[in-house]
Amino acid sequence: MLNALSAREELIESIHQHQITRRRFLGRSVAALGACSLVEGLAQIEAFAQEAAANNASKAVVPGRSPLKINKVETFIHRNSWVFVKISTDAGIVGWGEMLKDKSKACVAEAQETAKYLIGQDPRPITHHWQAIYRHGFYRGGPVLTAVLSGIDMALWDIKGKALGLPVCELLGGPTRNKIRIYGGRQDVIEGRCTAMKGALRADDRAAYKYVESAGYVQRAAKNFAQMREQLGPDIDIAFDFHGAVEPQTAMLLIKAIEPYQPYFVEEPVQCQNIGVMADIAKKTHLPIATGERIFTKWGFREVLEQKAATIIQPDICYAGGITELRLIAGIAETFYVPLAPHNPQGPCSLAASCHIDAAIPNFLIQEQGVRTHENLLKNPFKPEKGYLPTPTAPGLGIEIDEDKFMAQVGEPQPYQRSYDRDDGSVVDW
């Protein structure tokens, strides 16, 4: 009898460990004990417990849900000012991401604060972590906080893809295209690497624009663009970037002057702090207006889209909220028939993550290739062909950082570029 009671106690503990519901346990136990002897009843209950344990075990075996915990978060500043985050797990799976290159030291400091939340967490519920990082501070958003969130989000997607053996674009619903169009600079077009380019629109080597430029300046700038169009031909797409450095009065003069040559798009004709001003410019021209590299999260792009300030948006995956947020921004933009041309002046993680968004969304236009010097950080560099990159197929972000080469280039960031008017010395945008 003592052995039987001891067995019953062990059985109850086993049942508790396997999370059998109290109601099911009592129902089966009463039926078993009421129909036979104590020992026989306990044997039947034990059989039921084994059955329940097997059912629970089968439910626990979910692909990609084996134990996985973050055990290290590291940040690095590349000497080109790019900020990288490396997230390691106890299973040996590592994810890489990038943050905004401006304010690089501030990004590193904030990333280490965020690491206190991440250590010990399962990296795979990415949207949950995005919400926690974004919302668990009294002040939300801002360039530095959102940049840190963007890099971490990117690294978490890299981990999740590797854990499942799938490229990120497959986890976003699968590719909508089999290759991704890219643009570079004029030299990329001349050498046949791209069929689209972006440059500046200026009349001379002066870096700054006046509030109202002279008729001579506007005419010379338009002539320079006309000559470029003639040299490259009508089938090369030529965009130009004001970089938010032009005042509205001059921006409209320049846009009007180059309308006959049909640039691919006009990027950041003015700064983005006053969306209404950009919307006013957009209403006065038939040329596509593009903006977005200094705008972050879906909330920032909502106003741009609602006011029709741009017909092309350019979110930066290292700044606007990462892969998670860009997918949502793309969905909102689709409802306004607005395509994405993601901004990318950064390194390899930025381009790789952007390509997964480009592959997965229906309203993709073209991808900025960025600075090609980042290719020496990869074991297998990107290989564009005739202006396109192939849709990613390798797990995660699909790139492998050459850590020996990478660590040799970690160092002090480049100083921020400062610009002054050469005539009167006043501060101007660069």
For 81-93, write each residue's pLDDT tens digit: 899 999 999 999 9
User: What one-character-per-residue DSSP string does 52-97 give?
Assistant: HHHHHHHHH--TT-S---EEEEEEEEBTTS-EEEEEEETTS-EEEE
With vertex at residue 222, the alpha carbon angle to CA 216 and CA 223, rounded to the nearest 5 degrees, is 85
Residue 318: pLDDT over 90: yes
The candidate with the shortest Cα–Cα distance to 155, out of 81, 72, 211, 64, is 72
Tell the CATH superfamily of the 70-164 domain: Enolase-like, N-terminal domain (3.30.390.10)
pLDDT-derived band of residue 239, with 50, 70 and 90 as boundaries? Answer: very high
Least confident span in 65-79, 115-129, 195-209, 337-351: 195-209
Least confident span in 46-50, 365-369, 415-419: 46-50
The candidate with the shortest Cα–Cα distance to 130, out of 99, 161, 154, is 154
Least confident span in 26-35, 224-233, 271-280: 26-35
The candidate with the shortest Cα–Cα distance to 357, out of 318, 386, 305, is 318
- Does 70-164 match 169-428 in CATH topology? no
Strands (E), 141-299: 179-183, 196-199, 237-241, 266-267, 289-291
State both tokens at 157: 């997607």
Residue 330: pLDDT over 50: yes
Neighbours of 341 (CB within 10 A): 26
Contact 320, 343 (CB under 8 A): no
pLDDT-derived band of residue 32, with 50, 70 and 90 as boundaries? Answer: very low
CA dist 251 to 237, 305, 396, Å?
20, 20, 42
Instruction: Quote the percentage of the chain above a pLDDT of 70.
Output: 84
Go through the chain and tell me how many residues it has.
430
Residue of 95 and 30 predicted with greater confidence = 95
Residue of 137 and 295 predicted with greater confidence = 295
pLDDT-derived band of residue 416, with 50, 70 and 90 as boundaries? Answer: confident
Residue 410 sits at φ, ψ, to 5 deg, of: -80, 135
Provide CB contacts within 8 A for 274, sequence distance 6+.
Answer: none
The tens digit of pLDDT for each residue in 48-68 reads 545 544 444 333 334 546 889
pLDDT-derived band of residue 421, with 50, 70 and 90 as boundaries? Answer: confident
Contact 189, 128 (CB under 8 A): no
pLDDT-derived band of residue 373, with 50, 70 and 90 as boundaries? Answer: low
Residue 246: pLDDT over 60: yes
Average pLDDT, the chain: 87
Domain boundaries, the chain: 2-60, 70-164, 169-428
> H-helix or E-strand containing 367?
strand 367-368
Q: Determine the pLDDT at residue 419.
A: 83
Q: Determine the pLDDT at residue 50.
A: 53
Buried b (16+ CB within 10 A) or exposed e, 342-381: bbbbbbbbbbbbbbbbbbbbebbbbbbbbbeebeebbeee
Q: Determine the pLDDT at residue 428.
A: 83
The candidate with the shortest Cα–Cα distance to 161, out of 356, 296, 333, is 356
pLDDT-derived band of residue 184, with 50, 70 and 90 as boundaries? Answer: very high
Counting beta carbons within 10 angstroms of the beta carbon of residue 96, is it exposed (0 to 12), middle (13 to 18) or buried (19 or more)? buried
What is the SS3 assignment for 234? coil
Residue 17: pLDDT over 80: no
CA distance 12 to 343: 60
Using only C-alpha atoms, the chain has a radius of gyration, in whole angstroms, of 28
Catalytic residue positions, numbered: 243, 343
Residue 19: pLDDT over 80: no
State both tokens at 169: 């674009």
CA distance 174 to 67: 26
Q: Determine the pLDDT at residue 46.
A: 56
What CATH architecture does domain 169-428 belong to? Answer: Alpha-Beta Barrel (3.20)
CA distance 326 to 313: 11
CA distance 37 to 32: 9
Amino acid letter for position 57: A
Q: Determine the pLDDT at residue 13.
A: 45
Contact 314, 292 (CB under 8 A): yes
Contact 340, 315 (CB under 8 A): yes
CA distance 32 to 38: 9
Amino acid letter for position 397: L
Q: First and final CA of the chain: distance in angstroms?
A: 89
The candidate with the shortest Cα–Cα distance to 275, out of 248, 253, 241, 245, is 248
Residue 79: pLDDT over 80: yes
Contact 240, 199 (CB under 8 A): yes
Residue 215: pLDDT over 60: yes
Sign of the alpha-carbon torsion through 64, 69, 71, 72: positive
What is the SS3 assignment for 396? strand
